[in-house]
Structure 1
Amino acid sequence: MNIARPSVALIALCAALASPLARADAVATTVFADTFEDGSVADWSVSASANITVPVVTVRSDSVHEGLGALWTYFDAPGGGQGAGQVRASRVFNAPVAADYTLSLWARSAPCSGCTMFYDVLVDGVSLARTAAPNAFEARSFTLSGLSAGDHVLTLGIYTTAASSGRFNATFDDVRITTLAPVPEPTSAALMLAGLGIAGFAARRRQR
């Protein structure tokens, strides 16, 4: 019985499609990005500690790193009150493969008299940074080592030790998550499966 085998050319084609980024000069693939230029935070969820009664997460244009908008997390503390706590914005992102990823962003926190203001950065509830950076934006980059494939939660926000009166905020801009790992493109995966299907069909025809 003669069993037809896929041609060498077809096997090479499928191998190439299966590893579209497998080359010496790997190019970073962006799996998540938000520059807040669309002016919307509808896809971010808002949370706050119990004593923050009016948490606000919005896009504003009066303090940005670049472009027209930046993510603001803030609250207004009543005069004489004690507004110690946090306001956070969270959003789900998908890691297509298990690999190392890089989270980069610009962040700042408001100055505070008599308290300390921080910006918070977390992934899956794990704190990556709690940093006081009054007024000036600073570039931050974090390595997400061995991130599993699937959905994860990015959280950005403000934390203050004790805000007694006024507006307190942390601001974020140009948020991006990338990886250097090979990420198969959906179209390439579909072509590879189609090629294998054709090869299998040819093999069955030759067996008859």
Structure 2
Amino acid sequence: FSGFGSATGGGTAVEGEAKPISAEDAYLVLEAASSVVFVPGYGLAVAQAQHAVRELGELLEHNGADVSYAIHPVAGRMPGHMNVLLAEANVPYDQLVEMDDINPIMETVDVCIVVGANDVVNPAAREDEASPLYGMPIINVDLARTVIVLKRSMRAGFAGVENPLFFKDNARMLFGDAKASVQGLVREFKEG
């Protein structure tokens, strides 16, 4: 994927409004879900959120949800970065699913939780020929029934390209530090 990430902006202007969600409301969505897919990115590493993500995954499983972790081959700052972080947090290896295996079933997923990933879930790579990301394989999180994006701000990812995912009807933004946001969801499950 050399060349990706060297761009500074470009693509079609994104219009619409991002829809924020509170931890309480995100909990209600997750509590009702029968399938949840986490999609970790560089923001997971920065926030050191992998242990909290594993804990939330376990709580979701105890609640009856099928839980998996979708791994993009170039998520993070080196190939395999997410695999290493999730292994460090003792996420079961059989719950890690490669991009090419998760994409065909993404439309059946109740909730996709994007933890600090941006460019690797940007639908402009699939839909916008003017985007510098166009043609890069992505995890098609926008096809899940609901997408909860954990992100500090609306800033663009490493490639400097706006992400139309954030404005889709099925997407909600849980703003804040990824670790703190996940810990907030864990608290909701423990109290709920």
Q: Give the alignment's TM-score, normalised by structure 2.
A: 0.25
Structure 1 or 2: more helix by fraction: 2
Structure 1 or 2: more strand by fraction: 1
Structure having the higher Rg = 1
